[in-house]
Amino acid sequence: MTNPSPDSIAPSLDLIEELAREAVATLPDPWRGPATQVVLRVEDFAPDEILEAMDLHDPFELTGLYEGTPLTEKSVSDQPMHPDLVWIFRRPILDEWAERGDVSMAELVTHVVVHELAHHFGWSDEDIARIDRWWE
């Protein structure tokens, strides 16, 4: 039996994580250093408690999420409860990738990672939308 072509099977959690780490590693200075301090977590879907907290009923609506305190709001007197975290959700990314059909998996994962890291840097969704014309 021959192994399937890498292009004929859905990317694994490990491959999505590898693409996400590559996105962080290729960020320009001054963003790369602080971005490497954020924990990356790749799961198939967002946990139920996250979906409930965001009032989302369809787990395919969320491709990524930043969980933490933006750098612009941090204080040296803060006692961190947990490290800043970027969640990447594989199945919604796969669906979006298949529906779009005009970007590579690496481009889509990079977009999601950079969008979530932008929140870590203190940018709002509106700030990100002004510079990121991804959806046009």
- Amino acid 5: pLDDT: 45
Task: Classify residue 1: in a domain, yes or no.
Answer: no
Question: What average pLDDT does the segment 9-19 reach?
Answer: 91
Q: How many domains does the chain have?
A: 1
Task: Classify residue 79: in a domain, yes or no.
Answer: no
Task: Classify residue 51: in a domain, yes or no.
Answer: yes
Task: Classify residue 82: in a domain, yes or no.
Answer: no
Residue 65 and residue 38 in contact, taking contact as beta carbons nearer than 8 Å: no
Task: Classify residue 30: in a domain, yes or no.
Answer: yes
Task: Classify residue 136: in a domain, yes or no.
Answer: no
Residue 55: pLDDT band by 50, 70, 90 thresholds?
A: very high
- Amino acid 74: pLDDT: 78
Residue 40 and residue 88 in contact, taking contact as beta carbons nearer than 8 Å: yes
pLDDT at 7 over 70: no
Q: Mind spelling out the 3-state secondary structure of 104-126?
A: CHHHHHHHHHHHHHHHHCCCCHH
pLDDT at 48 over 80: yes
Domain, as residue range, for 23: 11-69+89-131
